[in-house]
Structure 1
Amino acid sequence: MTTTTHTLGSTRTACDPQTRVTKSLLGYGVLAGPFYVTVALASAFTRDGFDPAVHQWSMLALGEHGWIQVANFVITGLMVLAFAVGLRRSLAPGRGARWAPRLVAAYGVSLLAAGAFRADAAYGFPAGTPDGPGEVSWHGMLHLMAGSVGFTCLAVACFVMARRYGSDGRRGWAIASRTVGVLFLAGFGAVAAGTGAAAANLAFTAGVVTVFGWLAAVAVDQYRTAS
């Protein structure tokens, strides 16, 4: 709910406390993607032996400075969870008001799990690790499972939001959401099927950046319309 105040010929729109909380939570959806990508890129280009065309960003959690990527996972996950709460408040009532936030929240939880259970060393990273895929440990398996569930949920959230935008008559947003969902699934499928392949890793990285951009765009859109 908003209130409009007229003061000396000017108009000022003020949000009630509930709307302010909703907008604050939605703001984390704007911050999450840029924060994650910036920290990951900074690590990727400064870590000895890391090759973005060969190694996935999750492997940055390994080695001497791996704590930086672990913190990146955890902080980003918490921001995504906060955004999911704000999304639930901004979408209700209406189509997708339950499932879109739940799916986004599941992705947030998967990021926390990715930070708790690190990926396995492989393909020469960290420096000194033998070439090749290496052995899969129990924590590496849990990391892969968390990513699989989280990425799938986030892709499905794109399609749920596409239905919501479609029901609201916002065709452009609906098409964009479906497109992002398809591209993200394609990138995830490529890396799952072609472990270690440069094209697959780069496609997946592009998919992650794209879906985080979509998440931020949705957050801005909902922020503007929250009332």
Structure 2
Amino acid sequence: MLMINSRAGAVFRFVALCGMTAPVLMLVLWTVASLMRPGYDQLSQYGSELGTGPNATIMNANFVVTGLLIIVFATGLFANIRGVRWTRMGSILLGVFGAGEGAGGFFPCDPGCPITAQSVSQLTHNVDAVIDFVAIALAPFLFSLGLNSDDRWKGYRSYSLVTGLIAIGLFLVFSAASLGYLGFVGLFQRLFLAATFLWIEVVAIRLLRISGHHPSLRP
């Protein structure tokens, strides 16, 4: 039994490290890709615009690897949380977000990432982005709803709830900017993703700590 618990702890530490790595990797490679794109405007351009044109491989690889890391993390998070419907739904949506990030690397947008699709890849990218962003906007909020039933996680309920509300609000603002009702679409996209990726980082760190104090992970 001790050996089984030890292996479970090692597995969940790996899962937590995947979650901790994803936001950092996204930030680093996004920064590198943008610095290698002369004239790229962080305030007015989508991150996905770095996935087409010169050095597009950097951003597309970023999407794929980060997405895979998030899927692994979401799977472990689902297994760690006690049987609470809302929290598990939040974990599932986090996995959907990871899958969407990965898909974005295989279906890059056309130059400028137009809302009106000019190619099959652009159309797929648009649909993927909507599903992707809706999933991560709702994930922290749903995740928060069941945390009080798990003593190991209930201290993170308020943070997840506030993050969820902020994410939903920023998603709506970002959507308005994407449709042309507001400027600075790049800024609002970054604020939205900053809030949600920070939440992933914080939750992953908590899972890492739990894996050290609770070898069984499901006491």
> TM-score range with shorter-chain normalisation?
0.7 to 0.9
Distance 1:134-1:113 versus aligned 2 partners, 3 A rule:
closer
Counterpart pick for 1:175 among 143, 158, 163: 158
TM-score (norm 2): 0.84
Shift, 1:172, TM fit = 5.4
Q: Residue 173 of structure 2 corresponds to which residue in structure 1?
A: 190
Shift, 1:111, TM fit = 0.7
Q: Residue 31 of structure 1 corresponds to which residue in structure 2?
A: 21
Do the aligned partners of 2:74 and 2:95 also contact (CA within 8 Å) in 1?
Answer: yes
1:40 is the counterpart of 2:25:
no
Distance 1:70-1:57 versus aligned 2 partners, 3 A rule:
same
Q: Residue 47 of structure 2 corresponds to which residue in structure 1?
A: 57
1:82 and 1:106 mapped to 2: Cα distance? 11
- SS of structure 2 residue aligned to 1:16: helix
1:153 is the counterpart of 2:138:
no
Do the aligned partners of 2:87 and 2:142 also contact (CA within 8 Å) in 1?
Answer: no
**Higher strand proportion (structure 1 or 2):** 1
2:2 and 2:43 mapped to 1: Cα distance? 49
Q: Which aligned segments of 4 or more residues in structure 1 are displaced greater than 4 angstroms?
A: 169-172
Q: Percent identity?
A: 24
1:154 and 1:225 mapped to 2: Cα distance? 23
Q: Residue 71 of structure 2 corresponds to which residue in structure 1?
A: 81
Do the aligned partners of 2:12 and 2:207 also contact (CA within 8 Å) in 1?
Answer: no
The residue type equivalent to 2:168 in the other structure is L
Distance 1:187-1:97 versus aligned 2 partners, 3 A rule:
closer
Do the aligned partners of 1:37 and 1:209 also contact (CA within 8 Å) in 2?
Answer: no
Do the aligned partners of 1:118 and 1:140 also contact (CA within 8 Å) in 2?
Answer: yes
Where does structure 1 lack aligned partners over 5 or more consecutive residues? 4-13, 124-132
2:137 and 2:99 mapped to 1: Cα distance? 15
* Structure with more relative contact order (C-alpha pairs < 8 Å, separation 6 or more): 2
Shift, 1:92, TM fit = 3.5
Do the aligned partners of 1:122 and 1:134 also contact (CA within 8 Å) in 2?
Answer: no
1:222 and 1:49 mapped to 2: Cα distance? 40
2:171 and 2:126 mapped to 1: Cα distance? 12
Instruction: Give the root-mean-square deviation of aligned CA atoms.
Output: 2.4
TM-score (norm 1): 0.81
The residue type equivalent to 2:35 in the other structure is F
1:146 and 1:79 mapped to 2: Cα distance? 18
Structure 1 residues 60-115: Cα deviation after superposition (integer angstroms, max 9, x where no partner) = 00112001100000000110011012112211344545323211111111011111
Where does structure 2 lack aligned partners over 5 or more consecutive residues? 212-216
Counterpart pick for 2:193 among 208, 214, 224: 208
1:83 and 1:218 mapped to 2: Cα distance? 10
Distance 1:2-1:35 versus aligned 2 partners, 3 A rule:
farther
Do the aligned partners of 1:187 and 1:200 also contact (CA within 8 Å) in 2?
Answer: no
Q: Which moved more, 1:150-159 or 1:178-187?
A: 178-187
Distance 1:179-1:97 versus aligned 2 partners, 3 A rule:
closer
2:2 and 2:210 mapped to 1: Cα distance? 11
Q: Which moved more, 1:210-219 or 1:148-157?
A: 148-157
